[in-house]
């Protein structure tokens, strides 16, 4: 009888912390200031009405589709929609926050201010060429239309990338 009570006590001592951990808020690696907002704004909503969100601080979440392979200064979060995957880039200050390329495929939550950056065609082509170069590719400028050009992104202040 006494050994059964001891076994139950040991089991409770081992299982309760594990159950508490499993029920605790999402674990993961935190970057920058982390994420303090509790309400998520969908990527689709921001993309559908970007001007409603420019200058506002938002929380977005989704799978990490891509990460800057050079410095980790941005990550692209995605969201499924009827006609494919919508995505939004979270850009952070170079050298201040660096997202690991191993984050690809993991779930992430990010927070920051929505910004829209208007560009001339020349600046836009330069930006696309830079992104291509990061991937070891070459951009053909003739494939870029005539505009208008504007980059929509989140100027990130923090993020959390979940485990495997």
Q: Give the pLDDT score at 82.
A: 63
Distance CA 41, CA 57 (A): 10
Question: What is the pLDDT of the chain when averaged over all its residues?
Answer: 83
Cα 97 to Cα 75, 82, 85, 130, distances in angstroms: 11, 33, 26, 20
Domain ranges of the chain: 27-161
Reported as a single tens digit per residue, the pLDDT across 49-78 is 999 999 999 999 999 999 998 889 999 999
Q: Give the pLDDT score at 142.
A: 87
77 close to 61: Cβ distance less than 8 angstroms: yes
Record the tokens describing residue 106, joined without a space. Answer: 């993991």
Residue 22, pLDDT > 70, answer no
Q: Give the pLDDT score at 9.
A: 39
Record the tokens describing residue 48, joined without a space. Answer: 């559908």
Span 105-127, average pLDDT: 94
Homologous superfamily of 27-161 in CATH?
Nucleic acid-binding proteins (2.40.50.140)
128 vs 155 pLDDT, higher one: 155
């Amino acid at each position: 009888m006494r050994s059964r009570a001891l076994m139950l006590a040991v089991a409770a001592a081992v299982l309760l912390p594990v159950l508490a951990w499993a029920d605790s808020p999402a674990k993961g690696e935190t970057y920058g200031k982390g994420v303090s907002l509790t309400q998520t704004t969908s990527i689709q909503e921001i993309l559908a009405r970007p001007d409603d969100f420019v200058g506002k601080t938002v929380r977005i979440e989704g799978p990490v589709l891509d990460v800057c392979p050079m410095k980790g200064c941005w990550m692209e979060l995605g969201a499924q929609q009827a006609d494919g995957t919508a995505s939004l880039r979270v850009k952070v200050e170079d050298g201040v926050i660096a997202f690991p390329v191993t984050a690809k495929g993991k779930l992430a939550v990010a927070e920051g201010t929505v910004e829209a950056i208007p560009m001339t065609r020349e600046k836009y082509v330069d930006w696309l060429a830079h992104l291509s170069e990061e991937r070891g590719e070459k951009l053909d400028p003739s494939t870029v239309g005539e505009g208008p050009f504007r980059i929509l992104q989140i100027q990130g202040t923090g993020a959390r990338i979940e485990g495997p």
